Amino acid sequence: MSRKIQQPPKQWWHFLIVTTTLIYIIFSVFHKLPQLEMHMDEHEWLRRSMLFIDAGLIRHNFHDPIWTGFYARDQSNLAEYIYGIWTWITYRQNPVNLMQQTQFNQQWIEGVSGYGQLWTQDKWWMKYSFATDPTSVIPSQYRQAYQIIITNRYLSTSFFIGTSIIIFLLVKSLFGFLPAIFSSIFFVNFPLNQLHSRQAMLGSIVTFFFTSCLFLLIKQNDSIKTIILLGFIAGLTAATRIDGLITILLIACILTIETIYSILQDKNKNETVILKNWIKRIVIMAGTALLVFYILTPFVWKNPITKVVRMVTWRQYWTDIIANNINPEATARNVRAQFNNVALQIIMPYRKPVLPIFNYLQIANFTIGFLYLIFITITTNDRLKYSRAILWTLGLYIVMSSYMKVDFERYYLPILPLGAIIHSAGIAALIQLFRNVDRGGIEPPSPQCECGVLPLYDRPLARRNEM
């Protein structure tokens, strides 16, 4: 008597589901993109990007004060380079004058006293910000400038789609195919993403790089090439937004924790070898990341340490200005409130559902997902990638909660993928439970399935007796 295992059918339906999901995602995020409400910062970031490209690509003047002035130190500049190059290619003219038809009086930027000028002057991008349908209210003389904003929204949305694809691949490697499909759809339909990840600002680009760092950290096999690539993406994250420096610290902390664990578990007492490997990985990763950040941030070319500190302290000072003088009702009053605000974005991304019970379902699913992720980390032989997912989630949550002084929705974008991943773990746990019931009892995870999450085609094993 022998046992034969039924071979799974060809994966043509995998391709069909992925294709259908991708079409749905593309349609849902590009649908009515010109009618999406405009944010005043869209115009300002694009105006700055035009100035950078005008100085660099058009006039080839790298001694222009823009490379060392306020625009250079206010924020990292990679996203502005990307938007500027995209506009330069698609517009085929120098759009600087167009974007400066009515420009900011820059006096308000250097201090609080002049800030009121920003709101009192009649600037079209201020007047029509937050309009539900800008195309119907913006005057004709500004339509061409608004068209540039729309063009760059398509680029921003493309990064948004790229993030959803990375989440799919990441969740598929952790929990299987069906949870991966769920995670992509779930993430794309987050209310915050539907608005802020589609606007032409920094959020979608920096979220893409944040998520890419997590994906490479989980997939990397500690080879030199993958560590260099991980450092390269971390450098791009920091070069997009200054708080992207968090990624370098998080990766270094995770590698350090793994090294300490390896030393404690090493029965042969090869501490020297383990420490040398740790130093090599840290130096290569951090060195690559800082080099990329340095090259793409002209402001720090002279006196880099002093200039980086100045950029970080400026952003801290600027959030204090917002919190104390501009929008005090959006301020997180204490540390506990900051942690609660960030946790809500992960646990309950849909906080105004038609049915209030959906809030409780989100809490339950998140709790199940996080516990399931811990369970897999403890029980599986391939615990490295799961432990890294947990450490990244906890580390990013703690760091973002610590400095998230202002409760502006778009500031939460880099942490939203974590919510999609953990909620997909909850779905994976439920799928595993139903599969075990279908098999007639509780069984350990199957070695043929990713983390015990059985693919959709996997039914109870066919058995037959043979003479």
Q: What are the pLDDT digits (tens) for 348-359?
A: 888 766 677 888
Contact criterion met (CB below 8 Å) for 299 and 67: yes
Distance CA 150, CA 24 (A): 21
- Give me the percent of the chain exceeding a pLDDT of 70: 79
Residue 85 has which token pair?
Answer: 């190059």
Least confident range from 72-76, 262-266, 333-337, 359-363: namely 333-337
Least confident range from 44-53, 288-297, 347-356, 441-450: namely 441-450
Least confident range from 85-94, 319-328, 332-341, 430-439: namely 319-328
CA distances from 318 to 31, 44, 115, 462 (A): 34, 16, 12, 65
Which letter does DSSP use for residue 461 in this model?
Answer: P
Q: What is the mean pLDDT of residues 255-261?
A: 89
Q: Per-residue pLDDT tens for 107-122?
A: 333 333 334 444 444 5
Distance CA 435, CA 418 (A): 26
pLDDT, mean over the chain = 80
Distance CA 421, CA 190 (A): 13
Q: So what's the pLDDT on residue 353? A: 64
Q: Which residue has the tokens 């502006």?
A: 408
Q: Count how many residues are written for the chain.
A: 467
Q: How many CB atoms sit inside 10 A of residue 249's CB?
A: 13
Q: Which residue, among 160, 230, 235, 245, has the nearest Cα to 202 in the 3D structure?
A: 160
Contact criterion met (CB below 8 Å) for 131 and 137: yes
Residue 412: pLDDT over 50: yes
Least confident range from 13-17, 21-25, 149-153: namely 13-17
Q: So what's the pLDDT on residue 253? A: 93
Q: Per-residue pLDDT tens for 126-165?
A: 777 887 788 888 888 788 888 899 999 999 999 999 999 9
- Across the chain, which distance is largest between two alpha carbons, in Å? 92
Contact criterion met (CB below 8 Å) for 405 and 320: yes
Q: What is the mean pLDDT of residues 54-70?
A: 82
- Regarding predicted confidence, which is higher, 359 or 283? 283
Residue 342: pLDDT over 50: yes
Res. 453 pLDDT band, cuts 50 70 90: very low
Contact criterion met (CB below 8 Å) for 444 and 452: yes
Burial of 168 (0-12, 13-18, 19+ CB in 10 A): buried
Distance CA 148, CA 46 (A): 8
Q: What is the mean pLDDT of residues 183-199?
A: 91
Least confident range from 52-56, 122-126, 374-378: namely 122-126
Q: Which residue, among 345, 350, 347, has the nearest Cα to 408 in the 3D structure?
A: 345
Q: Which range has highest mean pLDDT (67-81, 131-145, 235-249, 401-415)?
A: 235-249
- Regarding predicted confidence, which is higher, 377 or 332? 377
Q: Which residue, among 418, 417, 390, 414, has the nearest Cα to 403 in the 3D structure?
A: 414
Residue 407: pLDDT over 80: no
Q: Per-residue pLDDT tens for 377-393?
A: 888 887 888 999 999 99
Q: What is the mean pLDDT of residues 297-313?
A: 89
Q: So what's the pLDDT on residue 215? A: 94
Distance CA 36, CA 334 (A): 33
Res. 325 pLDDT band, cuts 50 70 90: low
Helix (H, G, I), strand (E, B) or coil at 453: strand
User: What are the DSSP calls for 8-51, one per residue?
Assistant: PPPTHHHHHHHHHHHHHHHHHHHTT-TTSPP-HHHHHHHHHHHH
- Regarding predicted confidence, which is higher, 7 or 366? 366
Report long-range pairs for 306-314 (Cβ below 8 Å, ≥24 apart). Answer: 307/73, 308/245, 310/73, 311/73, 311/75, 311/76, 311/242, 312/242, 312/245, 314/73, 314/74
Helix (H, G, I), strand (E, B) or coil at 269: coil
Q: What is the mean pLDDT of residues 325-330?
A: 52
Alpha-carbon torsion (316, 407, 404, 153), positive or negative: negative
CA distances from 197 to 10, 42, 369, 389, 403 (A): 36, 12, 25, 23, 21
Distance CA 195, CA 37 (A): 8
